[in-house]
Amino acid sequence: MESAFEIIAEPNRRAILTLLVSSQRSVGEIERQLRMPQPTVSKHLRVLREAGFVESTVDAQRRLYRLKPEPLQEVDAWLARFRRFWSAHLDALERHLGRMDQPASTKRNARKRRRGPNRKRDKGETK
């Protein structure tokens, strides 16, 4: 199972995490609010627990599950580099002329603000 990304690939697990973000819940509460069978909930909780996404405390016959931040922070950390990418991505579509070209630096140009869906001469097939 391993990586945090595989854990959150499952929709029901994401739903459980989303539910837990507001407050801790018992298994039964999760079961009712998400309308999924109890064994399913327990199994997903097991996966989440073993991956460090949640932890549980015993409250009489119930078990209260709550979020732990670390694994999702790890995902967040991975995403960080892409945030840098897409903020620098105002019009990278047209800058595709430079494909691995020489390090001869062109003139420093302040960033222009060109907007709009400017797809011209697009031989590309994104299909």
Partner DNA sequence: CCATTATATGCCTTGACAAGTATATGCTCT
Partner DNA sequence: AGAGCATATACTTGTCAAGGCATATAATGG
Which parts of this chain interact with a second copy (CB under 8 A)? 3, 5-6, 8-9, 11, 14, 17-18, 21, 23-24, 49, 55-59, 64, 66-67, 69, 72-73, 75-76, 78-79, 81-86, 89-90, 92, 96, 99-100, 117, 119, 122-127
> In this structure, are residues 66 and 24 in contact, taking their beta carbons and an 8 Å threshold?
yes
Give the CA distances from residue 20 to residues 8, 43, 82, 85, in Å, rounded to whole numbers and listed in that order: 14, 16, 27, 31
CB of 46 to DNA, least distance (A): 5
Closest of 10, 17, 9 to residue 52, by C-alpha: 17
Smallest separation (angstroms) from a second copy to the CB of 39 = 19
The answer to the question of residue 63 lying near DNA (CB under 7 A) is: yes
C-alpha distance across the termini of the chain, in Å: 32
Strands 62-67 and 25-26, by their bridges, are antiparallel
Contact code string over 69-98 relative to DNA, x by CB under 7 A? ------------------------------
